[in-house]
Chains A and B, each alone.
Chain A
């Protein structure tokens, strides 16, 4: 058995014959007790897809209610629960884990040339914590859900609501611990387990992005964890930390909540930016323009992201002077993101562009993230924010970033690395169609919401019958959501199909740069047959595309 992978193969035999991480062991326990980062990544893939469906189901109900101005589908309280559960599930159980827990877990050791993450058992623990948190959240849903909005502001959440805040809070607390442990694993792995020759300047920008993400996960999540503890204590014991009647300050809750939750949005977008960087380089066959700028801009986003949280609180009663400072800092945080957009564009310039499905998602990301980011600047301006806060303008802004940005990046990454993960090729025609459907559906869903918000439709309202002229845009939005749903279902179908009927993939079907492409598809359990020694720079596409593969050292 051990000899099969030791003999160098001149061509890649079909994946099924070679021993790899998928066929090494069979049986439920070999998966549930695995410490292989690649298997854990797949465990996460299944779990977050499940929660994506749950969150999507709530979104569907929301959009159905908003088809008509009257509140006729559900009651007001129920609607509050719908948007709350949609937000909590999507943020904490889908978006925050998504790319780091699936693609990050799978690729970080491969990209740095290691056999596994630094702490494989902690990695498995992190998945179990996610599952425990998820089960608690499901139980909370089945016992009535929560109706405070995903932001569970005090004193409504602590003193007035009758729903199960404590359980939802604890579910998020546990899932937050999962997030912290993932971040810890990545930071230590990237620092300590790079292969010989893999200097910081040769790391893929995907790794830089995940490093920055991990910093945020590590330093931000504990603050919301302790805030949840305070909320639970206040609720259970009728204390007064956030209750104004008892001398507390509800704005303090918001400070503590947003100190994490703003950097959290960077947890959601940074990994996606890392994915897009890899895809754009590969499908323009070019080195990324300004490698160091892009790398440092990831770190800058992580640091600056901690300086801006009160821009969610401009109308909450904070001091005007502090609002000024936060507004200024919010403009500053846009700079590193803009640098990335410029660098991606410069990379595309005079590149040899290939329009494969991953690249279509990357293009979608570029346009939609730019729109989302620019509308963020509108919101950072105090004067404008006073008018559009708590309207659909905000809803559209963050969905452009989180769905148009993060989810597009996630889908692009899943397509790009699918051959590596599964050893199979997905059907390219269907994938391009799905990308197009997602793009069109997305814009139809969320662009009308910018208009709605600008014209004054408030968010979190189930009934807008006092402003019936909003109906047409709402109908368009719901239609778009249906199309978007179809676009999301297609990849799930053909990815599953490809696992059995897809063409076997070679080691490097895209001829891409990066250590992960220098090992088999799917990789063996310990990733590389021999420890790689890196002697080339990142994104060496000129060498890869050169007529003959002279001296690109391939660790086989």
Chain B
């Protein structure tokens, strides 16, 4: 995506049209015929990539659904021990960040550089808040010995609604394995998103985005919204199994 650098190296190549080289936006890469084509290609590329991400998380959702059906009461007991309020707060945080992202795109479309930079900064801060809260949650789990592995223990935890019956620790470990893998993978995607937005911020700060060309902001935004959507599904599935 370093458009200027490669555009420079391409225009150094001999011009095979033979006629005068028409001046174009330096962001236009040489193998594209027109800026619109480049923009459409980038957008389609990101959407297709998001489709692959749907399938990537899909495998985990598939495993989760099967085991939840098999071990519902054990999953319910395990789910009750994770902090629903922190989860709900994180959902709210991500929703706010999605709003700031669309505002950032709008700012780029309307040449409002200050707003664009501001919105990108707030988005990233919200992302850091999300990761911070996640860190708190993980720490809680670590302290309660609910992290799967050698030190896992889940003895004498009652099944919600069935006093006196205890959850099977092995099945609860499956819940926590899926919990950590799913939220961990999600957090990894958040971190990558923060990396992307850092780069967007630098470019925006330097004033590289114009109403004619701000494709990286748009496709970076698509990625961020996707990460939000994954969390929208993770939250009720993991946190709200049996809370009544």
* Residues in A lying within 8 Å of B, measured CB to CB: 1-3, 5-6, 35, 114-121, 180, 184, 187-189, 191-193, 218-223, 225-227, 229-230, 233-234, 237-241, 246-249, 252, 255-256, 259, 524-526, 529-531
With A115-B30, A230-B63, A246-B170 already in contact, the answer to whether A223 and B45 are too (CB < 8 A) is no
With A1-B14, A188-B41, A223-B58 already in contact, the answer to whether A240 and B177 are too (CB < 8 A) is yes
B57's nearest neighbour on chain A, judged by CB, is A226
The docked-state distance in angstroms from the alpha carbon of A239 to that of B14 is 59
The docked-state distance in angstroms from the alpha carbon of A220 to that of B51 is 11
A233 touches B48 (CB 8 A): no
The docked-state distance in angstroms from the alpha carbon of A192 to that of B40 is 7
A529 touches B44 (CB 8 A): no
Which residues does chain A contribute within 8 Å of B58, judged by CB atoms?
Answer: 222-223, 226
Interface centre among B14, B66, B70 (most CB of A within 10 A): B14
- Please give the distance in Å from A267's CB to the nearest CB on chain B: 14
Top 3 A-B residue pairs of the complex, sorted by shortest distance between their CB atoms:
A2-B14, A222-B56, A6-B18
Scan residues 146-162 of chain B and give those whose CB is less than 8 A from a CB of chain A: 148-150
**19 residue pairs bridging A and B, Cβ less than 8 Å apart:** A1-B14, A114-B31, A180-B52, A184-B45, A184-B48, A184-B49, A189-B41, A218-B52, A219-B55, A223-B56, A225-B56, A226-B56, A226-B58, A227-B59, A240-B170, A240-B177, A246-B170, A247-B170, A256-B59
The docked-state distance in angstroms from the alpha carbon of A237 to that of B58 is 23
The docked-state distance in angstroms from the alpha carbon of A524 to that of B18 is 14
A524 touches B63 (CB 8 A): no
With A114-B31, A230-B63 already in contact, the answer to whether A188 and B51 are too (CB < 8 A) is no
The docked-state distance in angstroms from the alpha carbon of A119 to that of B215 is 14
Scan residues 19-50 of chain B and give those whose CB is less than 8 A from a CB of chain A: 30-33, 37, 40-41, 44-45, 48-49
Which residues does chain A contribute within 8 Å of B6, judged by CB atoms?
Answer: 35, 121
The docked-state distance in angstroms from the alpha carbon of A238 to that of B33 is 54
A241 touches B63 (CB 8 A): yes
A237's nearest neighbour on chain B, judged by CB, is B149
Q: Mark B50-93, 1 if CB is under 8 A from A, else 0.
A: 01110111111011001100110000000000000000000000
The docked-state distance in angstroms from the alpha carbon of A5 to that of B16 is 7
- Please give the distance in Å from A154's CB to the nearest CB on chain B: 12
Not counting A118-B45, A226-B59, a sample of 7 additional A-B residue pairs whose C-beta atoms are within 8 angstroms of each other reads A115-B30, A187-B44, A187-B48, A229-B181, A230-B181, A240-B170, A247-B170
A24's nearest neighbour on chain B, judged by CB, is B13
Which residues does chain A contribute within 8 Å of B18, judged by CB atoms?
Answer: 2-3, 6
From B32, B48, B52, B70, contact of A221 by CB (8 A):
B52
Q: Does B143 contact A (CB under 8 A)?
A: no
Interface centre among B18, B63, B66, B70 (most CB of A within 10 A): B63
Q: Does B171 contact A (CB under 8 A)?
A: yes
The docked-state distance in angstroms from the alpha carbon of A222 to that of B173 is 25
A116 touches B63 (CB 8 A): no
- Please give the distance in Å from B73's CB to the nearest CB on chain A: 13
| Interface residue SS majority, chain B | helix
- Please give the distance in Å from A37's CB to the nearest CB on chain B: 9
Scan residues 221-242 of chain B and give those whose CB is less than 8 A from a CB of chain A: none
How many interface residues does chain B have, given as a range? 35 or more
From A219, A220, A222, A247, contact of B174 by CB (8 A):
A247
From A6, A119, A184, A223, contact of B16 by CB (8 A):
A6
Which residues does chain B contribute within 8 Å of A115, judged by CB atoms?
Answer: 30-31
Which residues does chain B contribute within 8 Å of A246, judged by CB atoms?
Answer: 170, 173-174
Which residues does chain B contribute within 8 Å of A525, judged by CB atoms?
Answer: 13
Q: Does B123 contact A (CB under 8 A)?
A: no
Q: Does B168 contact A (CB under 8 A)?
A: yes
With A120-B31, A256-B59 already in contact, the answer to whether A233 and B44 are too (CB < 8 A) is no
Which residues does chain A contribute within 8 Å of B173, judged by CB atoms?
Answer: 239-240, 246-247
- Please give the distance in Å from A241's CB to the nearest CB on chain B: 6
A220 touches B55 (CB 8 A): yes
A252 touches B51 (CB 8 A): no
- Please give the distance in Å from A519's CB to the nearest CB on chain B: 11
B15's nearest neighbour on chain A, judged by CB, is A2
A192 touches B37 (CB 8 A): yes
Which residues does chain B contribute within 8 Å of A193, judged by CB atoms?
Answer: 32, 37, 41
From B59, B150, B178, contact of A238 by CB (8 A):
B150
With A188-B44, A227-B59, A237-B148 already in contact, the answer to whether A526 and B52 are too (CB < 8 A) is no
- Please give the distance in Å from B113's CB to the nearest CB on chain A: 28
The docked-state distance in angstroms from the alpha carbon of A241 to that of B171 is 9
A119's nearest neighbour on chain B, judged by CB, is B45
Interface centre among B31, B63, B67 (most CB of A within 10 A): B31
A529 touches B174 (CB 8 A): no
- Please give the distance in Å from A305's CB to the nearest CB on chain B: 14
Which residues does chain B contribute within 8 Å of A223, judged by CB atoms?
Answer: 55-56, 58-59
Interface centre among B16, B32, B37, B185 (most CB of A within 10 A): B16
B181 touches A188 (CB 8 A): no
Scan residues 124-175 of chain B and give those whose CB is less than 8 A from a CB of chain A: 148-150, 168, 170-171, 173-174
B55 touches A222 (CB 8 A): yes
B172's nearest neighbour on chain A, judged by CB, is A247
Which residues does chain A contribute within 8 Å of B63, judged by CB atoms?
Answer: 230, 241, 252, 256
With A2-B18, A529-B16 already in contact, the answer to whether A219 and B51 are too (CB < 8 A) is yes
A239 touches B51 (CB 8 A): no
A247 touches B44 (CB 8 A): no
The docked-state distance in angstroms from the alpha carbon of A546 to that of B178 is 66
A524 touches B16 (CB 8 A): yes
A226 touches B60 (CB 8 A): yes
Which residues does chain A contribute within 8 Å of B15, judged by CB atoms?
Answer: 2
The docked-state distance in angstroms from the alpha carbon of A249 to that of B37 is 48
The docked-state distance in angstroms from the alpha carbon of A129 to that of B148 is 31
Which residues does chain B contribute within 8 Å of A252, judged by CB atoms?
Answer: 63, 66
The docked-state distance in angstroms from the alpha carbon of A1 to that of B13 is 10
B60's nearest neighbour on chain A, judged by CB, is A226
Which residues does chain B contribute within 8 Å of A233, judged by CB atoms?
Answer: 177, 181
